[in-house]
Amino acid sequence: MIGFAVLSSLSSCLKDESQPDFTKNQAVIELPIGSSAANGGGNSIAAAFTVDQTPSDYFVYVNYAAPEAAAQNVTVTLKVDTSAVTKFNTVNGTTYAQMPANGYTLAGNTVVIPTGQRLVKFPIKINTINLDPLKTYALPITISDGGGFTVSGNFGTLVSIITLKNKWDGVYTVTGTMLDTQNSALTGQYPRTLKLVTQGPNTVAIQDGDSFAHGILNAGAGSSYGSFSPVFTIDNTSSTITSAINYYGQPASNGRSARLDASGVNKFTMSADGKTPVSMKVKYILVQNGDRTFFDETWTYTGSR
């Protein structure tokens, strides 16, 4: 997966009132992409990656901000600036983890802006296999040397906010059947758009809207089981679902647990390269005073979350 930031127009950033007017000043070296909260915490950009054995490509832009393109090669030196994460968290009230050294690989610490150009990419590899999918990481890149040119005071540091997803994470259209053996008024609500949300390298939980839940019908009206959302554990090689437990506990405070029904297919069908889900067939049970509700579902992948 390639994480990237999109620059809509270089010329537009030179007219942006949030940046200095460089048409009357010397060239400035900057990291122009990113949003600022204007609170002194620095600029940031969000990027998400799928956990994979193969490192993911990522890059940040380095810009020569001036009326004319560079008249010579400009060698810019960059560094990972851990102090920027502390400042960012303090100012914004966040708790992002500093990305560990084994979580990324830099090809070097310099990038060259060639003669006649302004904008280049500084490549980074994100080693997702070494990171915790339950954490949100911050990777701060700072220009330490502008190659003889002034480093931007406002755009000299960029904090990339990195989140992870496993390969089964995504948005699905769900069809199937549901049988509640204790309350006949409770029935399935299909088809329904649901999400599988990463809980670990090999686990996903069902999310309905913004809640860990699964919509059902109660006498024909929309409802859901309180404190119930299955978390599936999946074998990385075969994409077979090996277990289901309740997100809210086994059991939750209301006595509800989840259990995989062994009679189901309980497996993902994956794309030819094994990296993207096509569909999932699964049977699972809501356990409450015995095996109460039986789900038999097909989940069809519609896109990333």
Domain-by-domain residue ranges, the chain?
A: 2-165, 170-303
Tally of CA atoms within 13 A in the half-sphere of 235 that contains its CB? 9
270: Cβ–Cβ under 8 A, 6 or more apart, which residues? 167, 239, 276, 277, 278
Q: How far apart are the first and last CA of the chain?
A: 14
Question: What's the pLDDT tens digit per position in 49-81?
Answer: 988 889 999 999 999 999 999 899 999 999 999
Question: What's the pLDDT tens digit per position in 238-279?
Answer: 999 999 999 999 999 999 999 999 999 999 999 999 989 999
2-165 is a CATH 3.20.20.70 domain = no
Side chain identity, residue 127? N
Question: What's the pLDDT tens digit per position in 12-38?
Answer: 333 444 555 544 568 999 998 877 766
pLDDT of amino acid 144: 97
User: Cα–chain-centroid distance for residue 285?
Assistant: 30
The backbone torsions φ and ψ at residue 14, rounded to the nearest 5 degrees and listed phi first, read -75, -20
The per-residue pLDDT of the chain, averaged, comes to 90
Cβ(157)–Cβ(84) under 8 Å? yes
Tell me which CATH code domain 170-303 carries.
2.40.128.120
Q: Would you tell me how many other CB atoms lie within 10 Å of the CB of residue 143?
A: 24
Show the tokens assigned to 26: 């010397």
- Helical ranges in the chain per DSSP H: 10-15, 82-92
